């Protein structure tokens, strides 16, 4: 098909939908009777067709024919007497601009192609010379008025070649840099071209511009180039002015930029940290930052941090204990059994009973008795026993040391004194307990236990009555057989002190 000739060169068969296209057609076709584009050529295919099984009609300007882009309408047509035959039919245009429908397989003298471009180049500007243009689709002529991108122009008599640019639609030299002769395309200069008698052509620029390093283009003179602005520069009425980015201000010279301390304006509710060109808000412990830079109290009690009871406070929380318990001095979130009397009732769960620290359990009575730690001699000078603990004091002229038990002459030891318990707390200062006190208390308890055991054994021995006959006895604790027998009076000093023989 003739249309393929156009498509092979990235074009298509020509459409003539308006009088504007008609004028373009007149430029392509020679006047009637003149020499044709092709020897003997009179008729050329255009992009108008009647599809298969369609028949022509007189109800439209195109008689039912369609352009290759599917358009059924148009503002221009120049039909000859139609054949009236149904499709498929194609259309040719003669050098007299007449349209004739023909069978699509008939032979014509050629096809008119059209090419679409985003832009085009004007003809070369030259004095006393000619230019011949060769288009990308093979047309070679000096009579063209608009040249598509990729067209190559040959300027004579200088023999210089140029090409139409695909992006700027301007002529670029092929093999020779600007500037060249001023009479040809202004020497390649953007503004002005000078052709002095000696030294060759050179380019110049209009006022307010300066010549670029390439030697032929001009760039606007920028007053900000020498202004020395640190951040930004703008031009107003031809003069440069310096500006700073947000968070900065101009210095006294008006060129440099110094940081603005936004924290001086107190934009934050609690804490503000200034940063170069900015700032950030922060909250104290126990608070969290909201989206509007406010500090919101954190309710720590929701995390169940306390052993028994919890009270939220501004930025913190306080743990409390039930009756009979007090806060653990080593962990203020824990509660420990506490007693401020001597004796006090033990806390019993099932068969097990517990006493507070510094008390000893009497299992028979279910009572807790305070341990007198002062008997262990833990204090260096004076000792005051308290419920569940003790406190060391020093005589006049001495001061208590950090260990809470040692006394040294004033000025010879550490000046930092151990703080006394806060008045009104109602519980012992357990911080005074040491390893020596605990070990001494255990030793004292062990000695008392042995004394009570010996006394009990003595009383039982005096009150016991022994059977005169040999009696078998089974120890429930030792699971060993023990035989008891009467001893003659001569074998002991007193009959009231029987001996156990094994």
Give the pLDDT mean for 473-487: 33
Cβ atoms 185, 124 nearer than 8 A: yes
Is 16 in the same domain as 79?
Answer: yes
What CATH number is attached to the domain comprising 289?
A: 2.10.25
- 160-217 tens-digit pLDDT: 999 999 888 889 999 888 899 898 989 999 999 998 888 889 999 999 899 999 999 9
User: What does DSSP assign to residue 292?
Assistant: T
User: What does DSSP assign to residue 486?
Assistant: -
Cβ atoms 388, 373 nearer than 8 A: no
Is 67 in the same domain as 105?
Answer: yes
**Tally of CA atoms within 13 A in the half-sphere of 53 that contains its CB:** 0
Q: With H, G, I as helix, E, B as strand and everything else as coil, classify residue 40.
A: coil
Per the model's pLDDT, the better-predicted residue between 388 and 408 turns out to be: 408
Per the model's pLDDT, the better-predicted residue between 101 and 473 turns out to be: 101
Is 274 in the same domain as 371?
Answer: no
Q: Residue 221 and residue 204: Cα distance in Å, rounded?
A: 14
Is 496 in the same domain as 443?
Answer: no
Structural domain including 483 reads 465-502
Instruction: Tell me which of 243, 277, 296 is where a domain ends.
Output: 296
pLDDT at 428 exceeding the cut of 60: no
- 70-104 tens-digit pLDDT: 888 888 899 998 888 998 999 999 988 899 999 99
* pLDDT score, position 339: 84
What CATH number is attached to the domain comprising 7?
A: 3.10.100.10
With bands split at pLDDT 50, 70 and 90, how would you rate the model's confidence at 426?
very low
Is 401 in the same domain as 441?
Answer: yes
Q: Residue 178 and residue 167: Cα distance in Å, rounded?
A: 19
Is 502 in the same domain as 434?
Answer: no
Cβ atoms 49, 16 nearer than 8 A: no
Q: Residue 60 and residue 82: Cα distance in Å, rounded?
A: 14
With bands split at pLDDT 50, 70 and 90, how would you rate the model's confidence at 42?
confident
* pLDDT score, position 128: 85
Instruction: Tell me which of 246, 271, 296 is where a domain ends.
Output: 296
Q: Is position 314 within any domain?
A: no
* pLDDT score, position 59: 83
Q: Residue 104 and residue 54: Cα distance in Å, rounded?
A: 14
Is 418 in the same domain as 482?
Answer: no
- 345-370 tens-digit pLDDT: 888 888 888 888 888 888 888 889 98
Q: Is position 313 within any domain?
A: no
**pTM attached to this predicted model:** 0.38
Determine phi and psi for 489, rounding to 5 degrees: -60, -25
Cβ atoms 343, 404 nearer than 8 A: no
Cβ atoms 409, 416 nearer than 8 A: no
Q: How, if at all, do strands 382-386 and 389-393 pair?
A: antiparallel
Q: Is position 469 within any domain?
A: yes
Cβ atoms 95, 30 nearer than 8 A: yes
Is 1 in the same domain as 108?
Answer: yes
Is 403 in the same domain as 489?
Answer: no
Give the pLDDT mean for 2-11: 82
Is 396 in the same domain as 489?
Answer: no
Q: Is position 194 within any domain?
A: no
With bands split at pLDDT 50, 70 and 90, how would you rate the model's confidence at 258?
very high
Tell me the three-class secondary structure of 412-424, residue by residue: CCCCCCCCCCCCC
Is 364 in the same domain as 414?
Answer: yes
Helix-then-strand count for the chain, H and E: 3, 40
Q: With H, G, I as helix, E, B as strand and everything else as coil, classify residue 8.
A: coil
Q: Is position 407 within any domain?
A: yes
Q: Is position 253 within any domain?
A: no
- 99-136 tens-digit pLDDT: 999 999 999 988 888 888 888 899 998 888 899 999 88
Q: What is the domain count for the chain?
A: 4
* pLDDT score, position 83: 87
Structure tokens at 393: 């004091």
pLDDT at 477 exceeding the cut of 50: no
DSSP letters, 237-285, are: TTEEEEE--TTEEE-TTSSSEEE--GGGG--SSSEEEEETTEEEEE--T
pLDDT > 70: percent of the chain: 81
Instruction: Tell me which of 93, 116, 139 is where a domain ends.
Output: 116
Q: Is position 37 within any domain?
A: yes
* pLDDT score, position 328: 86
Q: Is position 73 within any domain?
A: yes
Is 281 in the same domain as 381?
Answer: no
């Amino acid at each position: 098909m003739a249309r393929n000739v156009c498509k092979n060169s990235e074009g298509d068969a020509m459409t003539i939908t308006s009088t504007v296209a008609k004028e373009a057609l007149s430029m392509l076709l020679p006047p009637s009777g003149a020499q044709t584009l092709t020897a003997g050529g009179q008729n050329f295919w255009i992009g108008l067709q009647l599809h298969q099984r369609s028949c022509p009609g007189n109800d439209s300007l195109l008689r039912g024919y369609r352009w290759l882009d599917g358009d059924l309408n148009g503002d221009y047509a120049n039909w000859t007497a139609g054949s009236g035959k149904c499709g498929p039919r194609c259309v040719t245009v003669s050098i007299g601009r007449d349209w004739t429908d023909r069978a699509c397989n008939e032979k014509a003298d050629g096809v008119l192609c059209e090419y679409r471009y985003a832009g085009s180049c004007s003809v070369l500007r030259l004095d006393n010379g000619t230019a011949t243009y060769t288009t990308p689709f093979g047309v070679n002529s000096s009579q063209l008025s608009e040249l598509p991108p990729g067209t190559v122009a040959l300027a004579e008599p200088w023999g210089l070649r140029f090409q139409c640019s695909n992006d700027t639609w301007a002529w670029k030299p092929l093999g020779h840099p600007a500037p060249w002769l001023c009479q040809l395309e202004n020497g390649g200069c953007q503004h002005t071209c000078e052709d002095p008698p000696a030294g060759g052509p050179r380019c110049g620029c209009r006022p307010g511009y300066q010549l670029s390093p390439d030697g032929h283009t001009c760039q606007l003179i920028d007053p900000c180039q020498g202004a020395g602005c640190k951040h930004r520069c703008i031009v107003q009425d031809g003069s440069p002015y310096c500006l700073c980015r947000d968070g900065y201000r101009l210095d006294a010279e008006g060129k440099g930029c110094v940081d603005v301390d936004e924290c001086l304006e107190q934009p934050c509710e609690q804490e503000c940290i200034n940063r170069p060109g900015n700032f950030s808000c922060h909250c104290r412990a126990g608070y969290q930052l909201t989206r509007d830079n406010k500090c919101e109290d954190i309710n720590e009690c929701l995390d169940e941090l306390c052993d028994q009871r919890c009270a939220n406070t501004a930025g913190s929380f306080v743990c409390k204990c039930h009756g009979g318990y007090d806060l653990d001095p080593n962990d203020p979130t824990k509660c420990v059994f506490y007693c401020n009397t001597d004796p006090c009732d033990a806390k019993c769960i099932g068969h097990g009973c517990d006493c507070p620290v510094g008390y000893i359990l009497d299992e028979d009575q279910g009572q807790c008795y305070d341990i007198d730690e002062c008997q262990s001699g833990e204090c260096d000078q004076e000792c005051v026993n308290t419920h569940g603990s003790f406190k060391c004091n020093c005589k006049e002229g001495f001061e208590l040391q950090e260990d809470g038990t040692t006394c040294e002459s004033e000025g010879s030891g550490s000046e930092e004194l151990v703080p006394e318990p806060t008045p009104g707390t109602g519980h012992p200062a357990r911080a005074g307990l040491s390893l020596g006190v605990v070990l001494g208390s255990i030793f004292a308890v062990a000695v008392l236990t042995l004394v009570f055991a010996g006394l009990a054994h003595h009383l039982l021995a005096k009150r016991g009555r022994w059977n005169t006959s040999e009696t078998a006895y089974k120890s429930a604790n030792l699971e060993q057989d023990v035989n008891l027998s009467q001893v003659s009076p001569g074998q002991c000093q007193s009959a009231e002190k029987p001996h156990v023989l094994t």
